[in-house]
Structure formats: structure tokens, C-alpha cells
A and B are shown apart, each in its own frame.
Chain A
Amino acid sequence: MASCRRMLLKVIILGNSGYVNRKFSNQYKATIGADFLTKEVQYEDRLFTLQIWDTAGQERFQSLGVAFYRGADCCVLVYDVNVMKSFDNLNNWREEFLIQASPSDPENFPFVVLGNKVDVDGGNSRVVSEKKVKAWCASKGNIPYFETSAKEGFNVDAAFECITKNALKNEPEEEM
């Protein structure tokens, strides 16, 4: 069913982010609530509209909760390759998402993992190895993994193409 509804994909970004801002800044700016943006992606000759919810922010500015997780087609988990804690948090993010969004088939819900800020200090301050994160991704049902730099725009398009592909795999939830 090539309905227009399937051209619209809802993506949730969790973790150490900064993807949706067109201009990336390393500077800290808080997000109030979730940031909402749309992004158009060309995939297999069709134009898809990604409806992106980005949650980078402090908990004290998330007073209304995470009802926006519901109905997501793909969840993107982002960590900073230079901060071990952000990698350690991936598991929490994933579990928290599955609980809150309660997708119909949590086992096969599409995730994508992004390792961000690979460009910082020429990669010298990196603390999470690619091998380590890939092992984690494999253990969670072969989650696709990308290394990116939002600042330089490195690999971001490829990542979003993969996000689109994976989101499409998610069967639409018919709640009626």
C-alpha cells in the first residue's frame, strides 16, 4: 500500500545529540521539551519525510513526559565516542524507549546507533572503541552502527538513509 502515510516516518533521537540543528555547535544549549523538526530524505527514488524528535536536554525541562515516543518508526541512539558514560547509557536509553513507546514487536523494533564527535581532537580523545560498540550492537539484534561527526557533516547522510530504510521495515501499527 503506497499510501502517503507511509511516506511519513517518525524518528526519535535519544542521547548525546545535536543532529537536528542545521548548524552544529559544541557549545552547550539546553533544549526545552523535545525539539521537533522535519527532514526530507530521498530513498529508492521516493521522497520521505522524516519527522524527527530530538531530546537532548535536561530532565528538568521535560516536565510533560515522553508521550511523543509513541508511534515511532525508528529510534536513533546517539553517544559521544569521547565519553564512556554516554556509551554506558545506550542500554538505558534503549530499554527506557521500549518501555515508554511500547511498540508491538519490541524484539524487532528498528534502532540505529550513532557514534558522534569522531572528529574531536583528531580522534585522540576517543575512549569508546569501534569494536566495543559494534559488539554491543550485535548483542542487541544487529543494530546498524555509524560513526559520524555532526559538526563536519561526516556520514550524517548515510546514517539518515539507513534510518529511513530501517524505519520503513517497521510495520505500521494499526491500533483499530
Chain B
Amino acid sequence: MIADGVEDEEKWLAAGIAGLQQNAFYMHRALDSNNLRDALKYSAQMLSELRTSRLSPHKYYELYMRAFDELRKLEMFFKEETRRGCSIVDLYELVQHAGNILPRLYLLCTVGSVYIKSKEAPAKDVLKDLVEMCRGIQHPVRGLFLRSYLAQVSRDKLPDIGSEYEGDADTVVDAVEFVLQNFTEMNKLCYSACQSFILLADPELRLAVGLSGLQGPAREKEKREKERSELRDLVGKNLHVLSQIEGIDLDMHKETVLPRVLEQVVNCKDEIAQYYLMDCIIQVFPDEYHLQTLDVLLGAFPQLQPTVDIKTVLSRLMERLSNYAASSADVLPEFLQVEAFSKLNNAIGKVIEAQPDMPILGVITLYSSLLTFTLHVHPDRLDYADQVLVSYCLKLYNAYSHKGACVKKLSGKEKLEDKKATKQIVALLSAPLDKYNDIVTALKLSNYPRVMEYLDSETNKVMATVIIQSIMKNKTRISTADRVEALFELIKGLIKDLDDAFHDEVDEDDFKEEQNSVARLIQLLHSDDPEEMFKIICTVRKHILGGGPKRLPFTVPPLVFSSLKLVRQLQGQEENPFGEEESTTPKKIFQVLNQTVETLSNIPAPELALQLFLQCAEAANDCDLEPVAYEFFTQAYILYEEEISDSRAQVTAIHLIIGTLQRMHVFGVENRDTLTHKATGYSAKLLKKPDQCRAVYACSHLFWVDDQDNIKDGERVLLCLKRALRIANAAQQMSNAARGSAGSVTLFVEILNKYLYFFEKGNPQITVAAIQSLIELITTEMHSDSSTPDPAADAFFASTLRYMEFQKQKGGAIGEKYEPIKV
């Protein structure tokens, strides 16, 4: 075996094929001229090519297939010969004269197939003879292919019920016996193949038997593993043949076939072979047989080598059975009758006990398969699903306590395993959600939260996200406070920092995304009954308040809006149909809201708190609760004064305050005066002059509200505008002093627009003269030497003038009003 072994193998294969074809050619000539002697001679020579040891199973198979096809022609010839009067018994004798054992056995099998067909001897005797004679080949590859040849040619001649080859003495039992014997022998061959492969991987042994040590043992081992996996289908084929024998009924399968096959599997003691054969068994036999033989089948698992990958096999079995259950409701009683669930549950427990080194991933895989199974088979048996969760809990607990404190210190590989395990856990816990499409049912699984307990905080979070997604996808209605309580208990990984959480670097975007999903969830919780809804709000509030400064800005706003929704719902109803005491009133909700929003100011998130206070104030306004609305405003003002120091934030906040205050109608004169006075005061105290100016002219709207006749104080409007003008002037002068050039006229144009607004609204304090002089002022400013050119301001002014022109030409009352103004 030298480095370019692959190339050499191609050469050897080509040489083998050439030799085979040459002899096949002479064999064909002999067949055409009915020359039996030559036919046997050349066919034996042709088959000698299969004696090679140089080919890998894959290449050997190519050679074998060519020989197989040629042998079919020979078989036809033998058939014709017997029709021409040649005795099949003589033929059977004759082929045994072939000089070499391997060609001889191939020929014997070929004649044997015709022999059975001729019915001159009982099929079972011929088969028995053949299967025993094949013992003559002990070389693994050659022996396995020879036996698979025997299996193939006898495949449709097995004396099973309904077959034309069934003699009096022949029964299904004989057929089964034959296949089992062949299977047993092939299993041995495959095992010895694997043993020799293992030996060949040992470098010292390689030298001892004259093999080059150049190829690394690891690579050699890999190659051997590959070759072995190529061979295994030859062995597995026998199981397929068994599954196809018609006459095997359930009893026979249960009493004979399955136990015998399993005995072989257990005895072969090789982990990979055992894994493969168990997989074959599960795939080839029908579902109803599996179901009825669960005891036998499952009983074999703990007897396998401790390293066999049982979880995959067992999962595939459960997957098959799940699909079977899903295929038709008619089969479900079978599952109940054989107590499939408890058997599987027990088996899993035993397997885990028998394989103490099974990684946690394996345990999880098994239980998630079982859970899928029970959800398919017993969708109504929540207790089963719950039981799976209990078993799972226990195992997980054992695993973790076993690992002890080192759980967190995982090596690279283990971390990967851990990730896979996490994925599986999520799959396990998602299964009930997918099945029931409804968290409400899953919430009834009392052990569900217990499993969540065992998860590390990372997994807990992932799972919580899955739960929320499920709710949103299915638009699940969660409409009682109890369920909300249970739900928040489940998703607490997202709601607060868990005690054991060690603070990893959390990706900012991930965090935002998960908190946004919590926010969406809060919006979804709803009950039509105000009492219940109020309870829900209180429950949510209780949970989210512990969320800490990073979460509250995400979770408080949806709760506030949810509460305000309830306020608006109540607002439409008759006040207190059940009496003030126990019923939910807007007042009560506002009290809770006040405390809730207050938490934000402590974080501190004063801007957000201010916005929410203003929202609440507006809602209180709509409920005609003056003191409440005033209180909210007071809160907002305190925040403004004490917490909001950034000048930009102040600008934003003051405009929000002005806007909200303008819409309030609940206040009496006194309260209103206090609040507007304050707002105007804040405005004039902003840092930058332009900001001051704009806030002050905005305050003018606080004294003139269209739909409120009692708020039409033209004088104070004018005061605001004049004050704004003074500030604009001051800004201009400051600019002159500091930069040597006047600032832009934008502020003046903006104020002009305010003048025009109130002019049109009919404010008597706004006169034509005032407007006229303002226009002149702007024009002068624009043409002064020190002015800085500002195209945007010029355009603004020009379009304002155009607007006035337009209003003039409109005619009517407005036109008349504008007429005296000279543009």
C-alpha cells in the first residue's frame, strides 16, 4: 500500500474487468454453441477475477456486479440445459469440479438457484447446503460478497407462503432459518473484517506483516472505517430480505425472527455494527410489528455496548412511531393497548442508566423525541407530556450536580456540545407549544416551569423568546391574571436578571430585540373585563418593576399605554355600576400609573418619564379629573426642573409641555395660569436665544385656543409675540457683537407668520400697523450692510409675502382684512 494507492486500485480494477470480460466472451461463445464444458471452464476462469484482495469494497462491488450480470446468462443457460434433458442433480455435481473454491461456490449458488426452481429437491435442503458450503470462504470481503450473492439469487426463491417453491416439508421457518444463518455468518465476517482493519491500523503490526508504515495510522484507520461502512449494507440486506418474507406473521416475528436477529446484534459486541444493525431493524420492519414487539426491541438496548449511539436509533424509532400515529387515527388504539408511552419512557431511563457517560445532549435528544412521540400519539394526555418533563428534569439535575461546579468551565468541544444541547432543549420545550399552538395549554404542564428552572440563564432567555414568538404567531389570548402570572414566571429570564446569571457581555442589539418582544407581549395581554384587565396590569407591573434600569425603559411604556387603553374603555362606561369601593376606576388606574412612571425618573430616564406623565395628564383631562391631570403636570414640571439639564432635551421637553398644555381643557383659570406661567418662564430661560425665541412664540398658543371660548386672551398672545421679537433682536445684536455680522432674519419671518396666524384668527391686538412695521423691519435687516446672506431665509420671507398677496386676491372677508397691508 503505497501513497498512490487509489491510482493503483483503478489499474487493478481495470485489469480485473479486462480479465473478466475476456473470459465472459469465451463463455458467451460456449453458451451460443451449447458447449457446457467450455461454459463451465470459462465461467470459472471469469469468476477467478473475484479472488483479488487488492480492491476496496467499493471497487470490488463493481467487479462483482459485472460477474453477477454474466452469471445471469449462465443461469439461463443452465435452465435451458435442464429443459434439454440434462439432470440438475448432475449439473450440481459437475460444477463442483471447478478447481478453485471461490468460482466453485459462485457456480454452485447459480446452479442451486436453478435447482430450487426445478423443484427436484426441497428448496430448504439446497439452501442449507449452499449456506453451509459458503463457510469455505473466510476472507471478509470475498466471503461477504459471495454470501450476498447467495442472498440475492435465493431472494425470490425463499420457500415462503404463497410462493410456488413451497414444498410439503418447507415452511416459512426454513426460509427464516436460512436467512438468519446467512446473516449470522455475514455478521461474523464483517466483524472479523473490522478486527483485521483495526490490526492493520497498528503501525507495528503493519511492519510485522510487511505493510508500509508510510501512511499514517490515523489515515489508515479512517480508510478502514470507510471500507467497513461500505460493507455493512451487505449484512443489512439480510434483514431487508427477512422483512420481505410474506409468511412471517406477527407471532413469528415476535417469537423467532426478532429475538434471533437481536441475539446476533448483541453478540457481535462491536459498537458501530450494533448501531447500524439496530438502525436497519427499525427501518426495515413494519410499524405495527415494532409497536407489538416494543418489549423485545427495547429490551435489547441496554445489552448493547455502552458506547453505541443509542439515542439516534431510539429517536428514529420514536420518530417512525410518531409518523405512524400521525398517519391515521385508526392506529392510535394500538398504541394505548401496548402502553407504548410507558415502555418507551422506561426504556429511555434504563438506557441512560446503562450508559452513564452519555453526554447531556444525548439525554435531551431522547426526551425530546419522547415528547414529540407523546404529543403525536396522546395529544389529550397532558400528564404524559408532564411525565416526560419530570423524567427529564431529574436527569438534567443529576447531570448538573454530577458535573458540579465545573459546569461553567467548559472546554471548546464541550461548549459546542453545550450549544447543541441548548438547541435540543429549546426544541424539546418548543414541542408542546407547536403542538397545541397555544401557550395556555402548555401553561397547564406543571413541570414546564421546573424544566425552565434548570436551564442556564442564556437558554432560559432563548426559550422565553420562543414562547413569546409562539404567542405572537398564534395570536394567543391570555386573558386572566393567573395565566399572566404563570407566563411571566416562565419568561422571567427576559424580565429580570436571574440570580445565578453571571453578566456576560450582552449584545446591545440582541438585548433591544428581546426587550422589544417583551414589550409587544405586554401589549397583547388583554381581557374585556375591566376588573380582570386591571389585575393583569398589576401582575405585569409587579414582574417588570424588578427588571432594573436597562429593562424598564422598554417595559414601562407598553404597560402605561395598556393601562391608558383601559382608562379610555372605562371612560365610555357609566361611572361605577357596582359602587365606588371594589370596582376599577380611572382614578385607581391613574394612581398606579403615577407610581409606575415614577420608577422611570429614578432610573434615571427623565425624558421618557416626562413624556409618559404628559400622556397620563392628557388621559386624565379626557376623564375630567382636574386634580389628577394637575398632579401629572406637576410631576412633569418637577422632572423638567430637576432632572432634565441637557439643553437639547429641554427644548424637546418644553415643546411637548406646551403642546400638551394647549390641548388641556379641564383646568380652571387658576391652575391653568400657574401652569402656563411656568411654561412661559421655562421657555424664556432656555440656553440659546433662538430656542428661547421659538419656545416663547409657541407659548402664544396657550392663550388662544380655537375651540375654547374662555381661552382667547389676545393681549397675552401679543405679549408673547413681542417678547419673542425682543429676544430675536437680542439674538441679532449678540451675533453682531460676537461675529461682526448680523444673524439671519429667519426668526423674524417665523414671528411674522405667527402674527399672520393670529391676525387671521381675529385677534384684535394684532394690527395691520404691527404687521406692516414687522415687514419693514425684515426688509431693512435684509438689506443692511452687515447682514449675512441667507438664501433659505430669503425664500421663506418671499413665500410669506406671496402668501399674503394670495390672501389679498382671494377676496371676501380675508381679502378685505389683508387689503390695507402693503407688501
In this complex, what residue of B is CB-closest to A4? B76
> Does B284 sit at the interface, judged by CB under 8 A?
yes
> Does A63 sit at the interface, judged by CB under 8 A?
yes
> Does B58 sit at the interface, judged by CB under 8 A?
yes
- What is the distance, in angstroms, from A40's C-beta to the closest C-beta of chain B? 11
- Among A4, A32, A36, A49, the one with the most B-chain Cβ atoms within 10 Å of its Cβ is A32
Q: Given A3-B31, A8-B72, are A33 and B65 also a contact pair (CB < 8 Å)? A: no
Q: Is the CB of B73 within 8 A of A8?
A: yes
Q: Mark A159-176, 1 if CB is under 8 A from B, else 0.
A: 000000000000000011
Chief secondary structure at chain A's binding surface: loop
Q: Given A33-B240, A37-B155, are A63 and B286 also a contact pair (CB < 8 Å)? A: no
C-alpha spacing A64/B228, complex, angstroms: 10
Interface pick from B21-29, B165-173, B535-543: B21-29
C-alpha spacing A25/B229, complex, angstroms: 29
Q: Is the CB of B236 within 8 A of A61?
A: yes
Q: Mark A60-84, 1 if CB is under 8 A from B, else 0.
A: 0111110110110000000000000
Question: How many CB-defined contacts (below 8 Å) exist between A and B?
Answer: 98
CB-contacts of A1-39 with B (<8 A): 1, 3-5, 7-8, 10, 21-23, 25, 27-33, 35-38
> Does A58 sit at the interface, judged by CB under 8 A?
yes
Q: Mark A89-104, 1 if CB is under 8 A from B, else 0.
A: 0000000000000000
Q: Given A3-B32, A21-B244, are A63 and B232 also a contact pair (CB < 8 Å)? A: yes
Q: Is the CB of A30 within 8 A of B80?
A: no
C-alpha spacing A175/B246, complex, angstroms: 40
Q: Is the CB of A36 within 8 A of B152?
A: yes
Q: Is the CB of B65 within 8 A of A23?
A: no
> Does A86 sit at the interface, judged by CB under 8 A?
no
- What is the distance, in angstroms, from A136's C-beta to the closest C-beta of chain B? 30
- Among B64, B156, B280, the one with the most A-chain Cβ atoms within 10 Å of its Cβ is B156
> Does B475 sit at the interface, judged by CB under 8 A?
no
- Among B65, B239, B320, the one with the most A-chain Cβ atoms within 10 Å of its Cβ is B65
Q: Given A30-B284, A64-B57, are A35 and B240 also a contact pair (CB < 8 Å)? A: yes
Residues on B with C-beta less than 8 A from A67 are 61-62, 64-65
Residues on B with C-beta less than 8 A from A71 are 66, 69
Residues on A with C-beta less than 8 A from B284 are 29-32
Q: Count residues of chain A with CB under 8 A from any CB of chain B.
A: 36
Q: Is the CB of B240 within 8 A of A64?
A: no
> Does B285 sit at the interface, judged by CB under 8 A?
yes
Residues on B with C-beta less than 8 A from A68 are 65, 68
Interface residues on B, range: 35 or more
C-alpha spacing A31/B754, complex, angstroms: 87
Residues on A with C-beta less than 8 A from B280 are 30, 32, 61
CB-contacts of B226-244 with A (<8 A): 229-234, 236-237, 239-240, 243-244
Q: Is the CB of A33 within 8 A of B236?
A: yes
Residues on A with C-beta less than 8 A from B22 are 176
Q: Is the CB of A49 within 8 A of B246?
A: no
- What is the distance, in angstroms, from A49's C-beta to the closest C-beta of chain B? 7
- What is the distance, in angstroms, from A27's C-beta to the closest C-beta of chain B? 6
Q: Is the CB of A27 within 8 A of B286?
A: yes
Residues on A with C-beta less than 8 A from B285 are 29
Q: Is the CB of B61 within 8 A of A32?
A: no
Q: Is the CB of A58 within 8 A of B61?
A: no
Residues on B with C-beta less than 8 A from A10 are 69, 72
Q: Is the CB of B58 within 8 A of A61?
A: no
In this complex, what residue of B is CB-closest to A61? B233
C-alpha spacing A126/B57, complex, angstroms: 42
Residues on A with C-beta less than 8 A from B283 are 29-30, 32, 58, 61
CB-contacts of B55-109 with A (<8 A): 57-58, 61-62, 64-66, 68-69, 72-73, 76-77, 80
Residues on B with C-beta less than 8 A from A37 are 155-156
Q: Is the CB of B240 within 8 A of A22?
A: no
- What is the distance, in angstroms, from A7's C-beta to the closest C-beta of chain B? 6
C-alpha spacing A123/B178, complex, angstroms: 42
> Does B794 sit at the interface, judged by CB under 8 A?
no
Residues on B with C-beta less than 8 A from A21 are 244
C-alpha spacing A170/B494, complex, angstroms: 69
Q: Is the CB of B65 within 8 A of A5?
A: no
Q: Is the CB of B240 within 8 A of A32?
A: yes
C-alpha spacing A175/B21, complex, angstroms: 8
Q: Is the CB of B155 within 8 A of A4?
A: no
Q: Is the CB of B31 within 8 A of A5?
A: yes
Q: Is the CB of A62 within 8 A of B65?
A: no
- What is the distance, in angstroms, from A19's C-beta to the closest C-beta of chain B? 13
C-alpha spacing A116/B145, complex, angstroms: 33
- What is the distance, in angstroms, from A138's C-beta to the closest C-beta of chain B? 32
In this complex, what residue of A is CB-closest to B66? A70
Q: Mark A33-63, 1 if CB is under 8 A from B, else 0.
A: 1011110000000000101000000100111
C-alpha spacing A29/B230, complex, angstroms: 21
- What is the distance, in angstroms, from A59's C-beta to the closest C-beta of chain B? 11
In this complex, what residue of B is CB-closest to A10? B69
- Name B236's contact: one of A5, A22, A32, A176 (CB within 8 Å): A32
Q: Is the CB of A5 within 8 A of B246?
A: no
Q: Given A4-B76, A23-B246, A30-B284, are A38 and B233 also a contact pair (CB < 8 Å)? A: no
> Does B287 sit at the interface, judged by CB under 8 A?
yes
In this complex, what residue of A is CB-closest to B63? A67
Residues on B with C-beta less than 8 A from A175 are 21
In this complex, what residue of B is CB-closest to A7? B76
- Among B28, B230, B240, the one with the most A-chain Cβ atoms within 10 Å of its Cβ is B240
Q: Mark B25-66, 1 if CB is under 8 A from A, else 0.
A: 100100110000000000000000000000001100110111
Residues on A with C-beta less than 8 A from B64 are 67
- What is the distance, in angstroms, from A158's C-beta to the closest C-beta of chain B? 22
Residues on B with C-beta less than 8 A from A4 are 31, 73, 76-77, 80
Q: Is the CB of A64 within 8 A of B233?
A: yes
- What is the distance, in angstroms, from B444's C-beta to the closest C-beta of chain A? 34
C-alpha spacing A28/B68, complex, angstroms: 29
Q: Is the CB of A176 within 8 A of B21?
A: yes
C-alpha spacing A58/B316, complex, angstroms: 13
Residues on A with C-beta less than 8 A from B239 are 32
In this complex, what residue of B is CB-closest to A9? B72
Residues on B with C-beta less than 8 A from A38 are 156
- What is the distance, in angstroms, from A65's C-beta to the closest C-beta of chain B? 6
CB-contacts of B266-287 with A (<8 A): 280, 283-287
- What is the distance, in angstroms, from B280's C-beta to the closest C-beta of chain A? 6
- What is the distance, in angstroms, from A56's C-beta to the closest C-beta of chain B? 11
- Name A22's contact: one of B230, B246, B286 (CB within 8 Å): B246
C-alpha spacing A21/B73, complex, angstroms: 24
Q: Is the CB of B69 within 8 A of A33?
A: no
Q: Is the CB of A33 within 8 A of B237?
A: yes
Residues on A with C-beta less than 8 A from B162 are 22
C-alpha spacing A31/B237, complex, angstroms: 8
- What is the distance, in angstroms, from A148's C-beta to the closest C-beta of chain B? 21
Residues on B with C-beta less than 8 A from A64 are 57-58, 61, 230-231, 233-234
- What is the distance, in angstroms, from A75's C-beta to the closest C-beta of chain B? 15
Q: Is the CB of A65 within 8 A of B80?
A: no
Residues on A with C-beta less than 8 A from B21 are 175-176
C-alpha spacing A106/B803, complex, angstroms: 83
Given contact pairs A22-B162, A64-B57, enumerate 13 new A-B contacts (beta carbons under 8 Å). Answer: A5-B73, A8-B76, A25-B286, A29-B285, A30-B284, A31-B240, A32-B283, A33-B233, A35-B155, A51-B72, A70-B69, A71-B69, A176-B25
Question: Can you show 26 pairs from A to B with CB atoms below 8 A apart?
Answer: A4-B31, A4-B76, A4-B77, A22-B162, A25-B286, A27-B287, A28-B287, A28-B320, A30-B280, A32-B280, A33-B233, A33-B237, A35-B240, A36-B155, A37-B156, A58-B283, A61-B280, A64-B231, A64-B234, A65-B58, A65-B61, A67-B65, A71-B69, A175-B21, A176-B22, A176-B25
The 3 closest A-B pairs by CB, nearest first: A30-B283, A32-B236, A32-B240
Task: Give B residues with C-beta under 8 Å from A.
Answer: 21-22, 25, 28, 31-32, 57-58, 61-62, 64-66, 68-69, 72-73, 76-77, 80, 152, 155-156, 162, 229-234, 236-237, 239-240, 243-244, 246, 280, 283-287, 320, 323
